[in-house]
Structure 1
Amino acid sequence: MKFLRQTFESFRFAWQALRSNLLRTLLSLLGVTVGIFAIIAVFTLVDSLERNIRDSLNFIGDKVVYVQKWPWTFEAQAQWWKYFQWPEPSYKEYRFLSERLENAQAVVATDGKGRVTVKNGNNSMAALIIGTTFDYDKISDVPLEKGRYFTQQEVDNARNVTIIGSDIAENLFPGQDPVGKALKIKNMNFMVIGLQQKQGESLINVSGNPDVKCLIPYGAFAKMFQSINPSIDIAIKGYDSDEGLVELESEIRGLLRTRRGLRPVQDDNFSINRPEALASAISGIFSVLTIAGWVIGGFSILIGGFGIANIMFVSVKERTNLIGIQKSLGAKNYFILFQFLFEAVLLSLVGGMAGIFLVYLLSFMNLGSLDLQLTTANVMLGLGVSSVIGILSGIIPAFTASRLDPVIAIRAK
Structure 2
Amino acid sequence: MQFFRQVLESFRFAWQALRSNLLRTTLSLLGVTIGIFAIIAVFTLVDSLERNIRTSLSFIGDKVVYLDKWPWTFGTEYQWWKYFQRPEVNYTEYRFLSERLENAQAVVAMDFKGRVTVKQGNNSMLALIQGTTFDYNKISDVPISEGRYFTQQEIDVARNVAIIGADVVDNLFPGQNPIGKPFKLNGLNFVVIGVQERKGESLLNVGGNPDVKCLIPYGAFAKMFHSLNPSINIAIKGYSDDEGLLELESEIRGLMRTRRGLRPTQDDNFAINRPEAAAKAISGIFSVLTVAGWVIGGFSILIGGFGIANIMFVSVKERTNIIGIQKSLGAKNYFILFQFLFEAVLLSLVGGLAGIVLVYLLSFLQLGSLELQLTADNIALGLGVSSIIGILSGIIPAFSAARLDPVIAIRAK
Match of 2:268, SS state, is: coil
Moved more, 235-244 or 392-401: 235-244
Change (3 A) 1:242 1:23: farther
1:53 aligned partner, one-letter code: I
Q: Deviations over 1:87-113 (max 9, x none)?
A: 221001100100000000010000001
Return the offset for 1:132.
0.2
- Partner-residue secondary structure (3-state), 1:162: strand
* Residue identity matched to 2:270: F
Return closer, same or farther for 1:242/1:289 CA change in 2, 3 Å cut-off: farther
1:376-406 Cα shifts (integer Å, max 9, x gaps):
1111000000000000000000000000011
Tell me which residue corresponds to 2:35.
35
- 1:194-209 correspondence to structure 2 within 5 Å: 194-209=194-209
Paired position in structure 1 for 2:154: 154
Aligned-pair distance for 1:80?
1.8
Q: Is the 8 A contact 1:106 1:135 kept in 2?
A: yes
Aligned length: 413
| CA shift for structure 1 position 83 | 1.7
Change (3 A) 1:75 1:402: closer
Task: Report which stretch shifted further, 313-322 or 368-377.
Answer: 368-377
- Shift of residue 246, structure 1, vs aligned partner: 1.1
Which stretch of the first structure deviates more once superposed, 8-17 or 201-210? Answer: 201-210
Determine the structure 1 residue equivalent to 2:393.
393
For residues 227 and 309 of structure 1, the distance between their equivalents in structure 2, rounded to whole angstroms, comes to: 76
SS in structure 2 of the partner of residue 237 of structure 1: strand
- Superposed, which structure 2 residues align to 1:265-280 within 5 Å? 265-280=265-280
> Could you tell me how far 1:228 is from its partner in structure 2?
3.0
Residue 277 of structure 1, CA deviation: 2.0
Contact 2:74 2:278 in 1 (8 A): no
Q: Distance in 1 between matches of 2:336 and 2:242?
A: 59
* Cα distance in 2 for residues equivalent to 1:216 and 1:37: 49
**1:99-118 alignment, distance < 5 Å:** 99-118=99-118
What does 1:11-160 align with in structure 2 at a 5 Å threshold?
Answer: 11-74=11-74, 78-160=78-160
* 1:108 partner SS: strand
Q: Is residue 232 of structure 2 the alignment partner of residue 235 of structure 1? A: no
- Map 1:244-323 to 2 at 5 A: 245-323=245-323
TM-score normalised by the chain length of structure 1? 0.98
Which residue of structure 1 aligns with residue 221 of structure 2? Answer: 221
Amino acid at match of 1:394: G
- Of 40-49 and 9-18, the range deviating more from structure 2: 40-49
User: What residue number does 1:334 align with?
Assistant: 334
What SS does the aligned partner of 1:314 have? helix
Q: Once the 2 structures are TM-superposed, how far is the Cα of residue 77 of structure 1 from its aligned partner?
A: 5.5
The Cα shift of 1:54 comes to 1.1
CA distance in 2, matches of 1:392, 1:105: 58
The one-letter amino acid paired with 2:143 is: P
CA RMSD of aligned residues (A): 1.1
Residue 8 in structure 1 maps to residue 8 in structure 2 = yes
402-411 or 65-74, larger mean C-alpha shift? 65-74
Distance 2:202 2:57 in 1: 9
Aligned residue identity for 2:305: G
In the alignment, what sits opposite 1:170? 170
Q: 1:284 to 1:148 in 2, by over 3 A?
A: same
Distance 1:296 1:306 in 2: 16
Residue 227 of structure 1, CA deviation: 2.6
Which region of structure 1 is more displaced relative to structure 2, 194-203 or 313-322? 194-203
Give, as a single letter, the amino acid of the residue that structure 2 aligns with 1:290. T
Kept in 2, the 8 Å contact 1:103–1:244? The answer is no
- For the 8 Å contact 1:117–1:124, the answer to whether it is kept is yes
For the 8 Å contact 2:180–2:192, the answer to whether it is kept is: yes
Supply the distance in 1 between the matched residues of 2:259 and 2:33 (Cα, whole angstroms). Answer: 62
Secondary structure at the residue paired with 2:184? strand
1:76, distance to aligned residue in structure 2 (A)? 6.7
SS of alignment partner, residue 193 of structure 1: strand
User: Is the contact between residue 91 and residue 229 of structure 2 (CA under 8 Å) also seen in structure 1?
Assistant: no
Tell me the distance in 2 between the aligned counterparts of 1:353 and 1:119: 54
SS at match of 1:179: coil
